Amino acid sequence: MNEAHQDRVAVFIRHGQSEWNRTNRFTGWTDIDLNPAGIAEAERAGRRLAAAGYTFDEVHVSLMRRTRQTAEALLAAGGWRGVPITETWRLNERHYGALQGMVKQEIFAAWGEEKSRRWWRGYHEAPPPLDPEDPRHPRYDLRYADLAPGLLPATESLHQCQQRTLPYWLETLQPRIAEGRRLLIISHGNTLRGLVMHLDGISPEAMEHVEIPSGVPHAYGFLPDMQITSQEWLA
């Protein structure tokens, strides 16, 4: 880590592996726990960050258990105690609509491989939405009871996921970093793809080929005006 920029740091990390990740099952807003391999990934990430000299003032996670579990295992392994954890729905994974709970082979069989790949790798196209009466719809989840119904997605493209996430980056996270706070942001593959796309100026076409590995910290250093001065993957 560049010592000159320790005071303005954001470290992004995708949560550790869950059983649904291992079996290629689309998770989205389904609340799945980490498996033992995912806990181990989080612990390794914590040790790497500590060895590299990182410290944190606060942690931000989604409302999914797998991000909170990643945070707790990572902080314990790195020896950081008492770091506050903030949860927000805006860091939730992209909502995969009717694809949630399905494996890739089932999706290929139902809609064809070409269309299916555009849904999960492309930027603009959203998968088929959940029916409002589907019990998987977030309107049945008490964690979202205080949100306006119009904010709750029944499906999302990567673009829509990015539009939902960016206000939290711009209005909450970015000002804290500019003030000198050191943040750890634990979220999901597509949520972080959208943030990295924004920070690095990646085009929608190029973003189709960018993958965020689970459990690998991605650190950015910033100047007070939020110009990026450094970035590194702690693989």
Decide: helix, strand or coil at residue 221: strand
Contact indicator for 188, 13 with CB cutoff of 8 Å:
no
| Token digits of residue 12 | 């992004």
Of residues 89, 22, 42, the one with CA closest to residue 184? 42
Which of the residues 41, 43, 93, 156 is marked catalytic?
A: 93
Of residues 13, 41, 82, 60, the one with CA closest to residue 232? 13
**93 in active site:** yes
Written as one letter, the residue type at 26 is F
**Radius of gyration in angstroms for the set of CA atoms belonging to the chain, rounded to a whole number:** 17
**15 in active site:** yes
**Residues annotated as part of the active site:** 15, 93
